[in-house]
């Protein structure tokens, strides 16, 4: 059997296909460092495993709770982005609790399970919520959900001018 070399158009087609093959998960984590969130950092009256920044992300599984710190240099909008991986149950409720530095006050964002999963599915797996935080420093963010899914999580900190 004699193998024939591929035609130039076939090669071009393969290259174009490979260049355009980016996954939604790859887009979500592009340029970010995976933080294993395995440290012990003081936060309010407990500890968390990491500080997420505009350059990092971490992963986890729901049902359960994920807590981390976010640092701000002053008044900022903090966005929490989830990438849900094959959710098998919406659960009933997801809560995101945002704390001002020093845990002087908190803001809770409840989201029904259907909204959590449906918004993610409508946006290529991504769910986003944000909160304005006013004080500079370390802010505890806690997410609790009874949905059944693996996820990636990242933050975007946008200073308010």
What are the pLDDT digits (tens) for 94-126? 999 999 999 999 999 999 999 999 999 999 999
| pLDDT value, residue 21 | 56
Q: Which residues of 7-30 are buried (b: 16+ CB within 10 A; e: fewer)?
A: eeeeeeeeeeeeeeeeeeeeebbe
Burial of 85 (0-12, 13-18, 19+ CB in 10 A): middle
Q: Could you tell me which residues are beta bridge partners of residue 152?
A: 59, 83
Residue 13 has pLDDT above 60, yes or no: no
| pLDDT value, residue 161 | 79
How far is it, in rounded angstroms, from Cα 136 to Cα 152? Answer: 26
Ranking 19-23, 41-45, 48-52, 156-160 by mean pLDDT, the lowest is 19-23
User: Which fold is adopted by the domain 30-159?
Assistant: Jelly Rolls (2.60.120)
Extents of the domains making up the chain: 30-159
SS3 20: coil
How far is it, in rounded angstroms, from Cα 81 to Cα 90? Answer: 17
- DSSP 8-class letter at 102: G
Residue range 130-152: average pLDDT? 97
How far is it, in rounded angstroms, from Cα 131 to Cα 140? Answer: 12
- pTM (two decimals): 0.85
């Amino acid at each position: 059997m004699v193998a024939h070399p591929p035609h130039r158009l076939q090669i071009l087609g393969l290259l174009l296909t490979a260049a355009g093959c980016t996954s939604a998960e790859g887009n979500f984590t592009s340029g970010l460092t995976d933080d294993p969130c395995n440290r012990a950092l003081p936060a309010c009256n407990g500890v968390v495993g990491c500080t997420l920044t505009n350059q990092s992300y971490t992963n986890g599984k729901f049902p359960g709770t994920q807590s981390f710190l976010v640092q701000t240099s002053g008044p900022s909008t903090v966005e929490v982005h989830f990438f849900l991986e094959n959710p098998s149950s919406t659960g009933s409720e997801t809560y995101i609790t945002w704390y001002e530095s020093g845990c002087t006050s908190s803001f809770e964002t409840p989201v029904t399970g259907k909204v959590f999963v449906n918004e993610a599915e409508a946006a290529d797996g991504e769910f986003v919520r944000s909160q304005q935080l006013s004080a500079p420093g370390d802010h505890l963010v806690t997410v609790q959900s009874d949905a059944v899914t693996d996820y990636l999580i990242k933050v975007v900190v946008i200073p308010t001018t």
